Amino acid sequence: MLTNVFAWLGGIGLATQLVLAETAPATRIALILLLLVVLCSWKWAGGDRWFVAAAEAAVLAGSVLVLPVPQPAVAFLFGVVTRRVLSGGSSRALVKAIPAPVGYVAGQFTSILTAVRTENVDLDNLMASLLPLLGLVIGSAALHATVSAARHERDARQAVHAVIDASPVGIFLVDDTGTSILRNARAQAMFTQHNGTREVQCRHQMNLVRCEECGRAAGPVELNVDGDVFEIHTAPVPQESRPELTLVVAVDVSERRRQEDALRFRAEHDDLTGLASRAHFLHLMETALGTGEPVGLLVVDLDQFKEVNDADGHDAGDEYLREFARRTAQVIPHGVTAARLGGDEFAVLATRSGTVESARLATRMLAALTTGPEREIRASIGVAVSAPGTTAAELLRDADAAMYIAKKEGGARAKVFQDEIGARVQARQRDKADLRTAVHGDQMVVHYQPIIELATSRVTGAEALVRWQRPDRGLLRPDEFIGLAEETGLIVPLGDRVLEAACAQGTRWSREGRALGVTVNVSTRQLSSSAFVTSLRGVLRSTSLPAEKLTLEVTESVWADEAAMQGLMAVRDTGVQVALDDFGTGYSSLSYLQRYPFDVVKIDRSFVGALDETGRTASVVRCVLDLADVLGARTVAEGVETQDQAEWLRREGCDYAQGYLFGKPAHPDDWDHQPAVQGAGR
């Protein structure tokens, strides 16, 4: 600013001298007007144009020629050059300052030439006017370098401030009292809106810089301010002339924490029910057991989930699981964790809970499941409580064993684990292992029960019935191990072995001159396998048994399995006969009988055994016989034990019968001793 004042004063002084100069008016007026143009350009155009620099040079050259002394021109020259050097930040400002001294020198040389011609040269005046010019040039160059350096430093400082202000992190400069003496816009937005102070407070509600506990922290300090999470980093900034400062950098990690929490929640919770996941639950159980305090564990298995899934579809099954989770969450107390272990199996972890408290919790859960606003949820619950030294695997095993007993006893109940339950479960595990050995070894034998034609009392076939020749328990009937085979999945290889043995036996009888068909029971799981029909064709081919000599016997439960029904229809395409076993005791449906016709309908032994007890049973059996006749199916009565039952069935039109009256299941080698084979019962 002072430079501009000096330049203006020099310009006004020069204009005054020009007005008072004794020279041609036209020359003076021209110089004064040109000087006014220069001064006006300084005021309104900034004076940063080349024509202004040229005008300044012209004014100086003319002034040196017109004025009797050079001092007014020198003063104006100093003002012009200094103003340009200080006002421009680039080298162009220094270049534009050159025309002024050039004009001054040109005027001086013109004066010298004129003085030489007139022999009126004053060397003292000449040196007095030229020597300041040399100092001006040197000083201007030095001044320009200084100004440029200052401007670069200012620009760099402004750039640093711009970067700091534009930074997405909050930056503070804090003195030794903890008060921030400098903060950027982000820091202002992050903290001022929360506490309005110039201090950064830590989680202990103290000044961050002066808090000893935060100062001892190995890494960054994390602050939670009104729901926003900031990560605070600090670093000392040494100072020579003032107390040490501290740089505080605050990073907003709120969104990252929310994403981490969301990922952690998804990892620790089941997507469908929102309960804890299996992995997280097992981790919590390990942690709880590590405290040494008693831990109660409830293992829950839904009794009707498969029926819901099969009857109503998977969407209904998912909603069934979600409803269980909702009711469970409502009844378990704070601090108790419920989890979905997989499928329809759940678990509840109650820390610091003994047997009585855990059993009460199971009772409350059962009550909540059966009294909800929607459908009743039936569940079997096993309860186990840890002892000192119990591992998570052992506790889970015990609770699972108790749940298994609850399910075996009818479900919809809770069972507390006791030592005898463990013994039963261990025995069950031994049974599974022994059954696997038996199925893949030579302990399974097939017995055959004769099937007779009631009209002729002739043996026309035999039903294959598997027995387990268990080394430690003797010969076991199917009802003692078929359920275990279904549970373990061994029913499929077992069924395949029985089918192959029965077909081979039918072929042997045919070679012996006995035209006997064989009937084999097949499970729903066998039929639902895509490989079953291929396996069936292979057995018929390898044993050379005609397809019409084989009857596969299924129960009404096959109607609940679409894959099994498709397998059954494929069986019919092979020419093999299909029999419906235990008709009237399960999912009997006339629509199914019409859509999927059977070759044989077997009347359950419960109806045959009650023929002598009530006339209503006789009417039911007559209806079954009439229905089979309408459908074109043959009928076989099971469990016939008396001659009166056989005679009644013969009179009513039943086609075939089997039972102890005609012979018990026996090994083929013992068939010659069967009453029916000997001709008894005719």
The 3-class SS string of 529-596 reads CCCHHHHHHHHHHHHCCCHHHEEEEECHHHHHCHHHHHHHHHHHHCCCEEEEEEECCCCCCHHHHHHC
**pLDDT tens readout for residues 159-192:** 777 777 777 788 888 887 777 778 888 887 777 6
CA distance 380 to 300: 6
Q: What is the pLDDT of residue 23?
A: 72
Beta pairing, strands 444-453 & 656-657:
antiparallel
**pLDDT tens readout for residues 578-587:** 999 877 665 5
Please tell me whether residue 416 adopts helix, strand or coil conformation: strand
Beta pairing, strands 180-183 & 444-453:
unpaired
Most confident of 17-21, 93-97, 128-132, 559-563: 559-563
In the block, tokens 């029913």 appear at 491
The reported pTM is 0.55
Q: What is the pLDDT of residue 680?
A: 40
Asked if residue 230 lies in contact with residue 253, where contact means CB atoms within 8 angstroms, the answer is yes
Burial bucket for residue 433 (CB in 10 Å: 0-12, 13-18, 19+)? exposed
The alpha-helical segments, DSSP class H, found in 233-354 are: 254-268, 278-290, 305-312, 314-331
Instruction: Name the percent of the chain lying above pLDDT 90.
Output: 39
Provide the 10 A C-beta neighbour count for residue 430. Answer: 11
pLDDT band for position 57 (cuts 50, 70, 90): confident
323 has pLDDT over 70: yes
CA distance 361 to 368: 11
Burial 259-296 (b: 16+ CB within 10 A, else e): eeeeeeeeeebbeebebbbeebbbebbeebbeeeebbb
pLDDT band for position 344 (cuts 50, 70, 90): very high
Asked if residue 656 lies in contact with residue 453, where contact means CB atoms within 8 angstroms, the answer is yes
Which two three-digit tokens encode residue 455? 């009209």
Q: What is the pLDDT of residue 298?
A: 97
Q: What is the pLDDT of residue 16?
A: 78
Which two three-digit tokens encode residue 54? 């040229």
156 has pLDDT over 90: no
Q: What is the pLDDT of residue 137?
A: 60
CA distance 466 to 479: 10
Q: What is the pLDDT of residue 682?
A: 35
pLDDT band for position 45 (cuts 50, 70, 90): low
195 has pLDDT over 60: no
**pLDDT tens readout for residues 478-516:** 999 998 898 888 999 999 999 999 999 999 999 989 889
CA distance 603 to 420: 40
Q: What is the pLDDT of residue 148?
A: 63
Q: What are phi and psi of 105, to 5 degrees?
A: -65, -40
Q: What are phi and psi of 396, to 5 degrees?
A: -65, -40
DSSP E strand boundaries for 106-179: 170-174
Element (H, E) at 118: helix 99-118
Asked if residue 450 lies in contact with residue 664, where contact means CB atoms within 8 angstroms, the answer is no
Instruction: Name the percent of the chain lying above pLDDT 70.
Output: 75
Which range has the worst mean pLDDT, 200-209, 266-275, 434-443? 200-209
pLDDT band for position 361 (cuts 50, 70, 90): very high
Higher pLDDT, 334 or 1: 334
**pLDDT tens readout for residues 641-650:** 999 999 999 9
